[in-house]
Amino acid sequence: MLLLAIDTSTTAITVGLHDGSSVVAEETTLDARAHAEHLAPGIRAALASVSAATEDVTDVVVGIGPGPFTGLRVGIVTGRTFGFALGLPVRGLTSLDALAHQAWVDGRRGDLLVATDARRKEVYAAAYALGDDGALRTADPVVARAADLPPELRALPSAGRGPALYPDAVPHSCGPLDVSGGALADLAVRRLASAGAGPADGLQWVDPGHGFDGLEPLYLRRPDAAPAPPSKKSTLG
């Protein structure tokens, strides 16, 4: 197994590789505006670091957000294209889950708020319970002003860039700040294993009920651009 994980939902353009036993490579560039420029070189660098070729990849996982429109689509389209070209399965995972999983891997336990930058003075946020078996999402992702989140959530230790951007509303930062490609890859392999799809049959699609999402971007808000309304033809009597 060589699983490729891609996420472009946050400031981090991040790629991870997992061989079924551990994360073997990660490449991350911090740039909120240049996802398309950095992603392909990051994939090439990650593969080169373990002397692997694109043909060695067996599975692809992409973070589906929530995240800003343009950057998020770069990662999802790249993952889809990579999988299509090589005939590989492509699965989606909520990016906030990867941040919570990284906090769990780092040793944090208890309740956690993940709050990432949604721009427009808002955050993407979800709540988790971090126990011995991993990070369980307890509140689905929302987009809101940090100060408008329920007080019991704002009082929790928080991962993501929300606490740095809005420290008065979300004062208890505990990291990590951005999605890690390695954490996304590790979470994907764990969910594959829990669904009974390990390295021996890692090319099989996994039903979303086993812990994977679809591949549609999780925007949580409408894009700024919208089709123009149809013009009204004048009728002269």
Q: Give 124's contacts (C-beta < 8 A, 6+ positions apart).
A: 65, 66, 67, 96, 115, 116, 117, 118, 141, 142, 143, 220
CA–CA gap between residue 104 and residue 87 (Å, rounded): 33
Domain of residue 54: give its range.
3-95+179-210
Q: Do 103 and 148 lie in a common domain?
A: yes
Q: Do 118 and 197 lie in a common domain?
A: no
Q: Do 87 and 191 lie in a common domain?
A: yes
- Indicate the SS3 state at residue 118: strand
49 domain residue, yes or no: yes
Q: Do 91 and 21 lie in a common domain?
A: yes
Closest among 111, 109, 104, 143 to 127, alpha carbons compared: 111
13 domain residue, yes or no: yes
Note the residue count of the chain. Answer: 237
CA–CA gap between residue 89 and residue 109 (Å, rounded): 32
Q: Do 196 and 119 lie in a common domain?
A: no
Helices (H) and strands (E) in the chain, counts: 6, 9
Q: How many domains does the chain have?
A: 2
Q: Do 113 and 55 lie in a common domain?
A: no
pLDDT class for 33, splitting at 50, 70, 90? confident
Q: Do 9 and 90 lie in a common domain?
A: yes
pTM of the entire predicted model: 0.87
Map tokens 């060695």 to a residue. Answer: 56
> What is the pLDDT, as a whole number, of residue 200?
34
In tens, the pLDDT along 147-204 reads 999 999 999 999 999 999 999 999 999 989 999 999 999 999 999 988 764 433 333 3
Q: Do 80 and 53 lie in a common domain?
A: yes
Q: Do 64 and 124 lie in a common domain?
A: no
CATH number of the domain enclosing 202: 3.30.420.40
CA–CA gap between residue 152 and residue 161 (Å, rounded): 19
